[in-house]
Amino acid sequence: MEELLRLPEEPEPSPALEFMRRREALLISYSVFVGNYRELTERLKLVENPHVAINLWTVKLDVEFEKVRDEVTRLLHNFLASALSLLDHIKVHMEKLYEGSDLFAEYTSRRREHVFSTPVYRFVYDLRQYAIHNKLPLVGRIFSFHKTRGIRISYFLDVGELKRSKKKRWSAEARQYMDTYGGQLPLRQLAMEYFPVMNEFYKWLRKREPEFNRENPNFLRQRWERIAKQMRTTGPDYDKRGA
């Protein structure tokens, strides 16, 4: 009976398993980012459809607009949060597994040249800080009519309202990005410009990482040994093992 009740001993920490868990966690972070992007752009595409907009115009306009605005703001918040979280998660992943390697140098260079240098990244970063630490940006809507293109509806951020914030200092690159759109920055355009930047960066890493591991088995083996040592000498059961 005692043998049946006795719990099995904990297995030896597996650095290979820890490695796979980190890659899986990064994939989840990427999937969250993609999901938030799709939800935001698909909702905007729907409510910017002229037929939908006309119905909102004729039936309880103010009430319906407030509902749409609140939902778009929620989706924008989620998109901004996941966009920057993914970049942070990639940074931690690379530091834990590849710091000091040629791959880490490649990653640092590509992040600087293909992400940090883009005005849309600087604006999204600043907007996320504004939304998290100051207040949610106000979402507006504008109707326009053209004799050939017909009715057009756009949900936007008020650039003037953002710039007037006394609690937020916008970077020069973010101001440059805002200036390209004048007073109204279309939300769907913003998301569609930012998404390829992070998507291509993540996909490059997803492809390059296994290539590097195949090319540098000794480095990977040494890093696994380091991870195993950390796993044995940290955590809640460390004192129990008498190490």
pLDDT of the residue at 232 = 65
User: Residue 200 contacts by C-beta under 8 Å, 6 or more apart in sequence?
Assistant: 114
Task: Kindly list the domain boundaries of the chain, sorted by start residue.
Answer: 14-226
* Range 205-227 average pLDDT: 85
8 A C-beta contact, residue 13 and residue 231: yes
Q: Residue 130 and residue 140: Cα distance in Å, rounded?
A: 17
State the Cα–Cα distance between residues 60 and 56, nearest whole angstrom: 7
Mean pLDDT of 53-76: 76
Q: Name beta bridge partners: 154.
A: 142
> For every residue of 119-175, which 3-state class applies, written as one string?
HHHHHHHHHHHHHHHCCCCCEEEEEEEECCCEEEEEEEEEHHHHHCCCCCCCCHHHH
Mean pLDDT on 209-216: 91
Q: What local confidence, expressed as pLDDT, does residue 4 receive? A: 41
Rounded to two decimals, the pTM is 0.82
List, edge to edge, every strand of the sheet that includes 184-186: 139-146, 150-158, 184-186
Give 243 or 227, the one with higher predicted confidence.
Answer: 227
One-letter amino acid of 102: D
> What local confidence, expressed as pLDDT, does residue 59 receive?
52
Q: What is the number of helices (H) and of strands (E) in the chain? A: 10, 3
Q: How far apart (Å, rounded) are the C-alpha atoms in residues 127 and 136?
A: 9
The average pLDDT across 213-227 equals: 80
Q: Is 235 helix (H, G, I), strand (E, B) or coil?
A: coil
Residues 203 and 103: their CA atoms lie apart, in Å, by 14
Please name the helix (run of DSSP H) or strand (run of DSSP E) that holds residue 102, with its range, or none.
Answer: helix 102-111
Whether the predicted pLDDT of 5 surpasses 60: no
Higher local confidence (pLDDT), 186 or 152: 186
Q: How confident is the model at residue 1 (pLDDT cuts 50, 70, 90)?
A: very low
Residue with tokens 């955590």: 235
Q: Is the pLDDT of residue 190 over 60?
A: yes
